[in-house]
Structure 1
Amino acid sequence: MSFDLLDLPEPDRPPVDPEEYLRALMRWHFSPRTGSPFWLRRARSLDFDPIGDVHTFEDLRRFPNVVDEFRAVPVEDLVPRGLSGADRVIAGVYESGGTTGLPKRFVMFDRWMEFALGWDESHYAGLGTANVLLVGPSGPHMFGEFARRRARRQNGMLFSVDLDPRWIKKLLERGDAAESERYVEHVVDQAAHILRTQTVGILITTPPLLERLTRRAGLVETIRKDVRYLCWSGAHLDADTREIFQNEIFPGIALKGLYGSTTILGMSRERDVERADGLAAFDPPSPYIVFRVVDPRTGEDVAHGERGQVVMNHLTKYALIPNNLERDHALSIEAPPGWFGCSVADVGPVATFGDTTVIEGVY
């Protein structure tokens, strides 16, 4: 049985047929020779046969949301047996932010991580050599590793200021706003020192931290002088603040976001074409990462232009994470022609997720 269809695309390779791809993916993850111990074991409790019954994207709804099980499952059990050679090189084990409880753990493979990083490569076209400053979480989060690889791709050096988003959320959860403020100021102090003493071409951070950087005297001018690209991720950015960043504070500097999640092992990229309403719109790399937006009361897809809760799917030979209800709401918008699912715009956190109050903080 050949699984060549599941190989990641190369520049001259024609696009795969999404449903043919999905059928091959089910054979991969649920065949004893190629599937992971987790899915081969979990298949015994399903009320359907993934190989025989899953043929279309709609059929993925039959899967339960299993990501809560990734809080405790041994990570070795998540590795598909069919991976070998360069496909088997592990980039790391990364954890979710812990916003909705104990963190979940996921295995990231090197080839997939390089593909995911290249997904937004067009945004950096023409930048040339550039040093990168990351102001955000590193280990155990994948945010930092993506920044390190971005610097390498730009033939630059990586500067980083680590952030512990779980600690800030704990402080906010217990109402200790003063200590949270001191911690954020400590992070901003370090970032400001790097920006003033080093040449940074790409700044990667979250919208709340970018806003805090703009409060520092003289720092906006420093960023305007050196930074050629502002990449935001990890938190909500509303249309009004985005417009202020783009046209008033940092005119002429490219400002683009990434929307993703550890639970899909990657991200979607912001569209180059601006929407009339100024909202950031994101396309995932179908058929490898696929979105739906649903009515949380019924689980049914909302119409394009309507708001609902985001459901994410990671569909590669490296991992199968189907039907995962995320902690974000968004507008459903039309995906590019021939793609599974939908694209999303105006992403923001839900107020509660299950029995947990969602605290976004600065990440």
Structure 2
Amino acid sequence: MTSDFDSHVRATVAWHFDPDTGSPFWLGKRAALDFDPVRDVRTAADLTRFPDVSEELRTVPVTDLIPRGLRERPFRVFESGGTTGAPKRIVVGEARGRMLGWARDRLMDLGVPAAGHWLHLGPSGPHVVGADVARHAAMGGGIFHTVDFDPRWVKRLVGSGRGDLADEYVGHLLEQAETVLRSQDISVLNTTPPVLEAICARPELHELVRGRVKAVLWGGMSAGQETIRLLEEEFFPQATVAGVYGNSLMGVAPQRPARPGDTHRCVFQAHPATTLVRLVDDGGHEVAYGERGRVLLHLVTEEMFLPNVLERDTAIRVAPAPGSTTDGLADIRTVRSLGQAEIVEGVY
């Protein structure tokens, strides 16, 4: 990580622990820390000294998360998917928009059209991804189309053994999507691998997507190498197919363009200005390139400071592309259980 990011870490930590600008959440924790965050946190490596506070995001009053220095800025509240328990909440002002602007440029590098209308077959409501996709569409002057999509209900159905009802629900989603696709000019389809598989299993709907959509973006759940190959080469050869990794806490990490020597079809890259992702072993040590490790996240913005968050995913560490200092992430997989909780996935 560069010295610029180290400077960003020092400035952001000082902001969050200044009584005039910091949030009640972090200011209330300063006395319990066994170090002085302003004096002792000098580099990105020092972020591991902080505790992982992400579990507290399930219950903390969201007003405590808003920095005092940004009280005049409008904020929205978004929730995680609730896969591992009660949802975690974040506050979003302007910082995520800057991240999305950077991600949009990366997607255009892959061939996603700069303009056009979007169809989002994924969560909206309290989930930040819906707002993210809406902003992507608006940045290119496009219209944002979506359908009602409740991933928590699908997870409940799957977890209780009612997979037939989950399949019926997916069919309901696809019927709504088909209505939009038949009547509207859609350039970009954004959805999840399971929904794409369901689309491909319906010949008429599949041909409708192939005939109209210029880019297919997938995310929200992992996809194996063979699934990605099939999407790119067999099911949607006419379109740009690209993945976006991310979640409420970390933001978005779009797929980067392929490089000579890549052994993975899809390599993700996190936002280098605010997001540091390390892949670590069970002892917390960073794994070597080509090795699999658990995702350790540090989000460092003036709005949200989330250091040392151990995520529920693992990935393979990939060396930075030429001209970059940011590691790539490949072959994302979800840990099947955390503590006493078994992780149930449905369509997101």
Identify the match of residue 244 of structure 2 among 246, 258, 277. Answer: 258
Number of residue pairs the alignment of both structures matches: 343
Structure 1 unpaired stretches of 5+? 1-14
CA 211–160 in structure 1, closer or farther in 2 if over 3 Å, else same: same
Q: CA deviation at 1:23?
A: 1.1
Partner of 2:34: 47
CA contact (8 A) 1:130 1:155 kept: yes
Q: Which residue of 2 aligns with 1:127?
A: 113
Which residue does the alignment assign to 1:316?
301
CA distance in 1, matches of 2:306, 2:179: 40
The equivalent residue for 2:82 is 98
Partner of 1:231: 217
In structure 2, the residue matched to 1:355 is 340
| 3-state SS in 2 of match to 1:218 | helix
- How far off is 1:228 after superposition? 0.8
**1:44 alignment partner, SS class:** helix
Determine helix, strand or coil for the equivalent of 1:310. strand
Match of 2:311 in 1: 326
* TM-score normalized with structure 1 length: 0.90
- The answer as to whether partners of 1:18 and 1:339 remain within 8 angstroms in 2 is no
Aligned-CA RMSD value: 1.9
Unaligned residue ranges in structure 2 (runs of 5+) = none
Q: Secondary structure at the match of 1:223?
A: helix
Structure-2 separation of matches of 1:338 and 1:72: 41
Aligned to 2:69: 82
Alignment equivalent of 1:151, drawn from 137, 142, 155: 137
2: CA distance, partners of 1:151 / 1:341: 27
Distance 1:270 1:329, change over 3 A: same
Contact kept, 8 Å, 1:119 with 1:269, in 2: the verdict is no
Task: Tell me: CA distance 1:271–1:173, structure 2 relative to 1, closer, same or farther (3 Å).
Answer: same
Alignment partner, residue 114 of structure 1: 97
* 1:128 CA drift (Å): 4.6
Query: Is 1:72 aligned to residue 59 of structure 2?
Result: yes
Cα shift readout 1:260-298 (whole Å, capped 9, x = no counterpart): 11012x111111115643331111112301101111x21
Deviation, structure 1 residue 71:
0.7
Higher RCO (Cα < 8 Å, 6 or more apart): 2
Q: Distance in 1 between matches of 2:148 and 2:290?
A: 37
Match of 1:137 in 2: 123
- Provide the residue aligned with 1:306 in structure 2: 291
In 1, the alpha carbon distance for the partners of 2:306 and 2:320 equals: 20
Q: Judge which range, 126-135 or 71-80, deviates more.
A: 126-135
Q: Which residue of 2 aligns with 1:6?
A: none
Q: List structure 1 runs of 4+ shifted beyond 3 angstroms.
A: 335-342
1:120 and 1:321 mapped to 2: Cα distance? 20
User: SS at 1:33's partner residue?
Assistant: coil
Contact map agreement 1:57 1:340 (CA 8 A) in 2: no
1:220 matched to 2:206? The reply is yes
Q: How far is 1:226 from its partner? A: 1.3
- TM-aligned CA deviation for residue 230 of structure 1: 0.9
Please say if residues 270 and 326 of structure 2, whose CA atoms lie closer than 8 Å, have aligned partners that are also in contact.
no
Q: 1:340 deviation in Å?
A: 6.9
Contact 1:293 1:342 in 2 (8 A): no
3-state SS in 1 of match to 2:190: strand
CA apart distance, 1:180:
1.2
Please tell me whether the aligned partners of residues 259 and 282 of structure 1 are also in contact (alpha carbons under 8 angstroms): yes
Q: In the TM superposition, what whole-angstrom CA distance separates every residue of 1:80-104 from its partner, at most 9, and x where no partner exists?
A: 112266xx232x1000000000001
Asked if the contact 2:264–2:331 (Cα under 8 Å) also holds between the matched residues in 1, the reply is no
Cα distance in 1, alignment partners of residues 332 and 114 from structure 2? 31
The answer to whether structure 1 residue 36 and structure 2 residue 23 are counterparts is yes
Contact 2:82 2:88 in 1 (8 A): yes
